[in-house]
Structure 1
Amino acid sequence: MEEEGRYYVVRRKAVPDVLLRVVETKRLLRANRGMSVSEATGQTGISRSSFYKYKEDIFPFGDTVSGQKITLSIEILDEPGLLADLLGAVARFHANIITIHQSIPLNGMATVSLSLEVRQETEDLTGLVEQMEGMRGVREVTILSRE
């Protein structure tokens, strides 16, 4: 029933606590090279078996790898300059735009699809999505894929 290698994008509030603790354990281990898994799991309050069970299956959206591709769908108001503001945010985060498509505005709304390539210098994409969500005229940002 479930396909191996299939990915889902889930908001933080929907992720079980144990998985968030696995992410925090991984962060601790990266930040403290001499720390053992036992020490890190002790600090985050999960068992070593839980860590090993899930460690390869969860990672923050912002943990990106150079060459990775992200596709976003963004619902925006039909206002002059709003598309330029979105593209400016992408530039500030140092991502490379691969494709861009904007639908014909209907009832004052348009949908923009952006496919982005993560580059070596690209900053945390979680910040990019959050910045877009907070922009005047942006109604919704949806992550369609991460390859």
Structure 2
Amino acid sequence: MQQDAGYYVIRKQAVPEVLLKVVEAKKLLESGKVKTVNDAADSVGISRSSFYKYKEDIYEFHDSLQGTTLTLTFQMNDEVGLLSYVLNLIAEFGANILTIHQSIPLNGVASISITIQVLPTTRDVMDMIDKMEKASGVHKVHISGRSATFA
């Protein structure tokens, strides 16, 4: 029976702790702060077998995004300067805005769709989304599309 190799995007708070520790162990190894898998596993408090079991199955979302386009969808209050804030935030994080679609606000709320290109210099997209969601008047940002960027 062939297993589906699909992917899911889930928030960090929903990821089991052992998987987050595997990511931390991989970072320790990549940075050279530790020399061996055993040292990395010990440092984060997991077994070597857990590390080897999951090391190919978990990675930080930002690392997998470079060279892709993402479509972000959300609702936003119809307030002066709020869309400008979001667009400036995207620029501040170093992503390239490809398209912007905004509906006419109904009951003071507009639906927004922004497609961005994630560049090698783009900072952590999940941090950007988190900062967007914390802005008063921006409601639940979703990644509704992802595709490869062709040069």
Bucket of the pairwise TM-score, normalised by the shorter protein: 0.7 to 0.9
Partner Cα distance (2:64, 2:8) in 1: 15
Q: Which residue is 2:4 aligned to?
A: 3
Q: Which residue is 2:86 aligned to?
A: 86
Q: Which residue is 2:38 aligned to?
A: 38
AA in 2 matched with 1:82: L
Instruction: Note the residue ranges of structure 2 that are not aligned, 5 or more in a row.
Output: none
Aligned-pair CA distance for 1:134: 1.6
For the residue of structure 2 that corresponds to 1:59, the secondary structure is coil
Aligned-pair CA distance for 1:60: 2.0
Q: Quick check: 2:34–2:40 contact (8 Å CA) kept in 1? A: no
Instruction: Note the residue ranges of structure 1 that are not aligned, 5 or more in a row.
Output: none
Aligned-pair CA distance for 1:75: 1.5
Aligned-pair CA distance for 1:11: 1.4
Q: Quick check: 1:76–1:140 contact (8 Å CA) kept in 2? A: no
Aligned-pair CA distance for 1:109: 1.1
Q: Sort the Cα spacing of 1:76 and 1:12 in 2 relative to 1 into closer, same or farther, 3 A.
A: same
User: What root-mean-square deviation, in Å, do the aligned CA atoms of Structure 1 and Structure 2 show?
Assistant: 2.0
TM superposition score normalised by structure 1: 0.87
TM superposition score normalised by structure 2: 0.85
Partner Cα distance (1:120, 1:63) in 2: 9
Q: Sort the Cα spacing of 1:108 and 1:145 in 2 relative to 1 into closer, same or farther, 3 A.
A: same
AA in 2 matched with 1:71: T
Q: Quick check: 1:23–1:60 contact (8 Å CA) kept in 2? A: yes
For the residue of structure 1 that corresponds to 2:63, the secondary structure is coil
AA in 2 matched with 1:7: Y
AA in 1 matched with 2:18: V
Q: Deviations over 1:69-104 (max 9, x none)?
A: 222112210112211111110111110112221122
Partner Cα distance (2:10, 2:52) in 1: 21
Partner Cα distance (1:78, 1:2) in 2: 46
Q: Which residue is 2:59 aligned to?
A: 59
